[in-house]
Amino acid sequence: MSFPQRYGPWALVVGAALGLGAEFCRQLAERGLNLVMVALEKDELDTLATDLADRYGIRTQTVTGDITAPEVLESVALLVDDVELGLIVYNAGLSVCGMWLDTPLERHLKTIDINVTSMMTVLHRFVPPMIERGRGGVVLLSSMSGLLGTPMYASYAGTKALTLNLAESLWDEWRPHGVDVVAVVPGPTDTPGYRADQPRTIRNSPKVMPVAPVVAAGLAALGRRPSVIPGRANRFNGTLLSRVLPRSKAVALMGKSMREMYAGE
């Protein structure tokens, strides 16, 4: 069965305008899937949608807004209800960089709202038709910070740990019904969000990956495994930190690296 037959004819990409989300749209369009694209950045979203439609001959629909807003979700639902949705990519995310108590509580709660609550809402709303048809796919964006405690990214790391565990759990629950689930667990990736946090380059800092191979690894893993860490060096580091070293040692090393990268200590 071809990729469009398995996961088409339409894909929903949330967080579609920039970075990994935009690259997911490009690679899915290249595979022939039509796109419902959701993002905050109207100009970038509209430009990308027009370019992909012209380049690959696909159909695109866009919704501009915050996926946590009920009216935005309803706008998405109106579009999705009129098409046969075969794939969901939830890439919307918010990170909080800094010491936990130095960050307003509202920022932490917003991170949970975008990274967790809205993700679950999208899945609960749009996956049941896939289950009924007996085919479909879900791609959730976790992070290597979700593998263990990550000081200076505590709330973000917590949400990404939940995303990883949720995806792996749903991988087992939904695969008997023909719906594949994969968690993509990137390391440092060259996205606008990563650049905005302005990390310092430190000794032995991990190499920053471009978005294209991260997305390619995620799509290649869909239907084959419950989660994937793109990049050989990232997989090595992930194994070392989450499985080899004692937990206290691994978290302390992560904290030291984070403070060097983001606090200059």
Please give the Cα distance from 85 to 78 (Å, whole number): 12
The chain-wide mean pLDDT, for the chain, equals 93
Residues 83/34, Cβ–Cβ less than 8 Å: yes
Whether 17 and 37 have beta carbons less than 8 Å apart is answered as yes
CA neighbours closer than 13 Å in the CB half-sphere of residue 219: 25
Q: What angle do CA 90, 171, 86 make, to 5 degrees?
A: 50
Phi, psi of 227 (to 5 degrees): -155, 160
The predicted pLDDT at position 183 comes to 98
Quick one: what percent of the chain has pLDDT higher than 70? 94
Q: Which of 133, 118, 112 is closest to 38 using CA atoms?
A: 118
Query: How far apart are the C-alpha atoms of 217 and 8, rounded to whole Å?
Result: 19
Q: What pLDDT does residue 201 have?
A: 62
In this prediction, residue 198 has a pLDDT band, given cuts at 50, 70 and 90, of: low
- For residue 191, what pLDDT is reported? 82
Query: Quick one: tokens of 19?
Result: 């970075």
Helices (H) and strands (E) in the chain, counts: 12, 7
- Output the pLDDT for position 1: 85
Q: How far apart are CA 245 and CA 238, in angstroms?
A: 10
Percent of the chain whose pLDDT exceeds 90: 83
The predicted structure's pLDDT at residue 263:
74
| Angstrom distances, CA of residue 74 to CA of 85, 107, 116 | 16, 24, 18
Q: How far apart are CA 147 and CA 247, in angstroms?
A: 11
> What is the pLDDT confidence band of residue 265, given thresholds at 50, 70 and 90?
low
What's this model's pTM, rounded to 2 decimal places?
0.94
CA-to-CA distance for 114 and 95, rounded, in angstroms? 10
Q: Which ranges of the chain would DSSP assign to H, the alpha helix?
A: 3-7, 19-30, 42-56, 70-80, 105-112, 118-126, 128-133, 154-174, 192-196, 211-221, 232-239, 247-262
pLDDT interval class at 197 (50, 70, 90): low
In this predicted model, what pLDDT tens digit does every residue of 12-32 receive, in sequence order?
999 999 999 999 999 999 999
Q: What is the pLDDT of residue 73?
A: 96
Token pair belonging to 240: 């070392």
pLDDT tens column, 96-153 = 889 999 999 999 999 999 999 999 999 999 999 999 999 999 999 999 999 999 999 9
Beta bridge partners of 184: 141, 228
Residue ranges and CATH numbers for the domains of the chain are: 3-262 (3.40.50.720)
Question: What is the per-residue pLDDT for 203?
Answer: 59
First CA to last CA distance, the chain: 53
What is residue 205's predicted lDDT score, i.e. its pLDDT? Answer: 65
Where residue 70 falls among pLDDT bands split at 50, 70, 90? very high
More confident residue, 215 or 255: 215
Q: Over 90: is that where the pLDDT of 64 sits?
A: yes
Residues serving a catalytic function are: 156, 160
pLDDT at 204: 61
Please tell me the distance from the alpha carbon of residue 26 to that of residue 52, in angstroms, as a whole number: 7
pLDDT of res. 207: 83
Give CA–CA dist 76/208, Å, rounded: 33
